[in-house]
Structure 1
């Protein structure tokens, strides 16, 4: 085997090992993930790892039809992630305190003070009616 062929072979073996470790860590996060958004991100990462596996297998086997399959999987995986994200936001399945992470990108804004209703202004009192009739005053 020539030197470029050996380099490609070693690169493929290294890529498969790295993808295998990433796959195991991501499956752990998908199973243990404390929240639903963590699990969805892990599933999206799994799609990326599987695309990497398909690309390395296409390189090793020389059968380039696998690249088309990887591209199709990338499109479907993206759409699935968007659908899951919309499902979470529409159903309100985000746990307590997690909704702030989506809106504020992880920042926790200072709580706003609760404003009480302002007191109503006192009604203007009507001028007191005089006890004398206007006709009597004219005289």
Structure 2
């Protein structure tokens, strides 16, 4: 075994380990994901990870037909992501986030400043100025 083959072998094994860890974390996001768009993005990521697995198998075995399979999976995965996105848009964003998520988002947002009623003069608002220009 030459040095180049040995380096390639170690690189493939390292890539397999990294892809396995990313696969597990992405499956966790699909299961746990707080909202539907999170799950759709995770499913799209799973498609990319599986394409990576197929490419590594093609490198290890030297069988180039696997590359065609990976390209086909990429096309099907893209179409599935577009279909999921259209489904989410048709729902109109009716999904409500979990209460603990809302607490996280609203804790860092400061309360908007309100203008006091005494400082505003009647008849000088933007709507009145627009009417005056016409």
Q: Scaled by the length of structure 2, what TM-score is found?
A: 0.70
CA distance in 1, matches of 2:96, 2:18: 35
Q: Scaled by the length of structure 1, what TM-score is found?
A: 0.68
Aligned length: 102
CA distance in 2, matches of 1:35, 1:2: 50
Q: Give the superposed CA RMSD.
A: 2.3
Aligned match of 2:66: 66
Following superposition, the deviation at residue 36 of structure 1 comes to 0.4
Structure number with larger C-alpha Rg = 1
Aligned match of 1:132: none
Following superposition, the deviation at residue 94 of structure 1 comes to 4.4
CA distance in 2, matches of 1:10, 1:93: 46
Which structure shows the higher helix fraction? 2
Partner deviation per Cα, 1:34-79 (whole Å, 9 max, x = no partner): 1000000000000000000000000001111000000000000001
The reply to whether residue 9 of structure 1 matches residue 9 of structure 2 is yes
Contact 1:36 1:94 in 2 (8 A): no
Following superposition, the deviation at residue 91 of structure 1 comes to 2.1
CA distance in 1, matches of 2:27, 2:92: 25
Q: Which runs of 5+ in 1 are unaligned?
A: 98-107, 111-117, 119-139
Q: Which runs of 5+ in 2 are unaligned?
A: 98-108, 113-127, 129-134
Q: What SS does structure 1 have at the residue aligned with 2:46?
A: helix
Following superposition, the deviation at residue 93 of structure 1 comes to 4.5
Aligned match of 2:41: 41
List 4+ stretches of structure 1 deviating above 4 A: none
CA distance in 1, matches of 2:37, 2:61: 36
Following superposition, the deviation at residue 90 of structure 1 comes to 1.0
Contact 1:55 1:66 in 2 (8 A): yes
